[in-house]
Amino acid sequence: MARSGFRRVASVTGLTVLALLVLIQLVPYGWRHPNPPVVRDAPWPDEESARIAHESCYSCHSNETDWPSYAYVAPTSWLVRYDVDHGRAKFNFSDWDRYQDRADRAIDQVLAGNMPLSRYTLIHPGARLTADERDALATALDTMSRDERDDGSGGSGSGDGSGSDDSAGGGGDG
């Protein structure tokens, strides 16, 4: 009898979990996957740094997100949508004029190994940065930021009016 009781509890638990998974699909957060237009892409100084950034950064830090299939199924869609919204708000390569003044903070995050997020590289191992790639990306960001300042076509402040210096996701949270 103990065995049939266990099966009954396991069946009820399984059906409950399945019902919850179906019900959470009705929560509207994460349904839409907008990719706003690119205002001005970052002026990458070379093809290699552009390739590294597109592979490791653009999914969350640009308006060119390639939405994976799991971005359409809750609860993973919630996390993906949060990461993209948060990433774009902190630093967005697709609106370079607005975000270029945050390049120094982005460089710090990349060199510290905080970006890309480990939860992203767990699913996207090709996005992991080697030490050489981190250095190349940091150098490119510095070059682009410096070139823009020197040209006098610099950014328009912090971008969101908040004065926040936390540009590239902060301590690994987004």
pTM of this structure: 0.74
pLDDT at 80: 92
Report the Cα 3 to chain-centroid distance in Å: 47
Q: Tell me the three-class secondary structure of the chain, residue by residue.
A: CHHHHHHHHHHHHHHHHHHHHHHHCCCCCCCCCCCCCCCECCCCCCHHHHHHHHHHCCCCCCCCCCCCHHHHCCCHHHHHHHHHHHHHHHCCCCEHHHHHHHHHHHHHHHHCCCCCCHHHHHHCHHHCCCHHHHHHHHHHHHHHHHHHHHHCCCCCCCCCCCCCCCCCCHHHHC
What pLDDT shows up at residue 57?
97
Confidence check: pLDDT of 152 > 90: no
Q: Give the model's confidence band at 163: pLDDT under 50 very low, under 70 low, under 90 confident, else very high.
A: very low
Q: CA 58, 64, 70: angle at the middle one, nearest 5?
A: 85
Least confident range from 26-35, 37-46, 69-78: namely: 26-35
- Measure the CA–CA gap between 166 and 158, rounded to whole angstroms: 10
pLDDT in tens, 56-105: 999 999 999 999 888 888 898 889 999 999 999 999 999 999 999 999 99
Kindly state the tokens that stand for 152: 């006098």
The domains of the chain are located at: 30-173
Peptide bond before residue 116 is cis, with ω within 30 degrees of 0:
yes
Per the model's pLDDT, the better-predicted residue between 32 and 160 turns out to be: 32
